[in-house]
Structure formats: C-alpha cells, structure tokens
Structure 1
Amino acid sequence: MKIEISNIANLPSRFGNYKLKAFKENEKEHLAIFKEPFGEIVNVRIHSECLTGDAIGSLKCDCRDQLEASLDYIEKHGGMVIYLRQEGRNIGLLNKINAYSLQDKGLDTIQANHQLGFKADERTYEIVDIILKDFGITKINLLTNNPEKLGGLKCVQIVSRIPIVITPNKHNKDYLKVKQEQMGHMLKDE
C-alpha cells in the first residue's frame, strides 16, 4: 500500500485550534485533525465521512452529531479525530443515495445495503494503524459506539472506550435502533 503524507498545517475552527495532516491512500485522502500535546494515552475518534450528515446536516443519521461531539471533546482533552474517506460505510456516495432511496421505500439501513449487494458495513481500518504509527501513538482511549472499531485496530492498545451519546431525533431513531440491535453499537453510556 503506497501512502503519501502531507506536511502539518494549522486549522483554526469554530471548535478550536487544531493541526492537520493528510494521508493519501491510493485515491482516498484521509485526515488527522489533532490537538497537542498528546499524553501517553491519546484520545482518538475514527470518523468515517458522511457528506449528507457532516456537511449538509442530514437528520437521517447521527454522524454530524458524533463528529461535533468528538471535536468538542478533543478541544477540551486533547487528542485526534481521524477522518476517513469511507462514505456510506465505504459503499460510496452514489450507492449511499441509492440506499437512502431504498430506505425511503421501507428498508432499513442494513437491508438497503444488502439489496445493493454490499455487506452491512464495508469499512476497513488498516489506514488508521498507519496514521497512528506515523504519530508514534501506541495507547488510545477510543471515542466510539462501534464494536467493529474496538477490534479493527492492530498497532495500538485500546485502554478505554469513550461513548458518544447522541439524543435521537424522529428522523434517525429507527436508524439508531438498527445500529444498536443489529450491529451491536453501544449507544448508551455503558
């Protein structure tokens, strides 16, 4: 796997002042958004791209809420958000919109992915190991509700899981119920 790595740049944002470093993996460009200094154990959020949620503010998912909660947490406690270009659980934007169309017809998020010929979740996390190694990070507190992320990292020790508790709305409550009941997401502060 050929990886290109950018220089570090500053990013003042509405969430705080961060530093950025990009990692290009083939055609996908991922981003590390971080606030130093890091301690021995680094707070890390692995966030997969969601154009409809992150940029447009879709209420069908909890992606933007999780991203903003993570950036707030990192601003207060230090650490890193790794923004992965894995739109729609890595099925791509076009397929994600097709899945949305199927959901409009009554399928849930997993059924829609299966109807399109995909697994419930196509994401992988090898690039995260590369990013964490680049920063010399070996121990993390992982901000996640997703059990797949807890088992998907090979190069670091996950010391603890920090839940991201989001209040459901009328548009995403069924989506969150599927994530919890069928995908094992831990959506409560457990």
Structure 2
Amino acid sequence: MASKRPRSDAAPVKSAGDVKKAKKGFSVGPDNLPDGTHRRKVQKIKKDLIRKAKVKKSYSKIKGREQAKATKTTTNVPTVVEEASASLELHPDRQAMLDEPETIPQQQQQSEQRPRPKNPPRPKPVPFQKEAQLAQQRKEEREKRQKEIEEANRQRQAKVEERERFRKAMAKARIGGKDGQRKLGRESKVLLEKVQRMMAE
C-alpha cells in the first residue's frame, strides 16, 4: 500500500535527513588509541592546535580594532600633527646612544685587529682504539718475556761453558806430570777462580 500524499496547506514535515546535525569537533589522529604515550602525544598536538587557533582569532580581532582606530585618526588630521610634533623629541637614552657612536667602532676595530686563537685541530678518531692499545700492550709483554727467556738461556749457556772449562782445567791439573805427581800450580789457579766466583755471588 502506498503512502498518503501530504496536504498542501499543512506545515511541511521534517524528515530525518533534514534535521541539522550538531557539529563534531575536529579530530587529530585515530580515535581508538590506547592510553599511553601515543594518546598523550595526540592530545597535546590537539591542545596546541586549539591554542594557536584562539591566538589567531584574538589577534585578528585586535588587528581589526587597530585598523578601525587608524581609519578614525587618519580622518582627524590635527591629531596626527600633534603626535608628529611629540615624536620629534628623542628619548634621553636614545639621544645618549646617538651622541657616542665613535667609541663603538673603536672597540670593534680593536676586536678585529686582535688575532683570534685558533683551536687546535681535533685528533682523528681511531676506530678500535682500546683494542689497538690492548694489542700493543700484549705485544710489548710478549717481547719482554722473549728477551727474558733469551737472557736466561744465554746465562745458562755461559754457566755450562764455564763449568766445562773448569772441568777440563781440573782434569789437566790432576793428570800427573813426568814423575806422576799432580800439578798444584794449575789446580790452585782453577780453585782460586772458583772461590772468587763463589764470593762474588
């Protein structure tokens, strides 16, 4: 069954589409953010935007007022002349600044003449510097140990040679001469060297 036609003299009925919806405020970022850092960040951005918009709006109002005042003052010429005559007098501080411009260039010239100390060049960054130092220390320790080992071997060899020489000298001294007796002169020299060595140690 078809719907009835509305009467022409009756008040128009508002349909669901004609109803004006309330404006929704602007949104920043997604609506479904969880509570936490991201949500606070989005809220902060939104607050900043709102604050900036308010500042712009108040600025435009103030600017409009100032322009309105400016148009009023331009129509009134005598007040402008009075303001101009008042503005010709300089403030005492400004006058003092204008009176002493000669001292400022001298200071600038002195600062320009002084040579600026150059900063020493930065050392180039060495990659793996700590590792290189550790490797250098290990190398030095290894060389030191090697020298100690070589020195100990040399001393041991010298002692072996000394003992061998002493043994041969004693063997010669003990061998009897023509008459079969020991050669005490040779033996005494060898024994004297042995005693001197013992006393030196």
Same fold, judged at TM 0.5 (above): no
TM-score, normalising length from structure 2?
0.15
Q: Where is the strand percentage greater, Structure 1 or Structure 2?
A: 1
Relative contact order, CA 8 A, sep 6+: which one is greater? 1
Q: Where is the helix percentage greater, Structure 1 or Structure 2?
A: 2
TM-score, normalising length from structure 1?
0.16
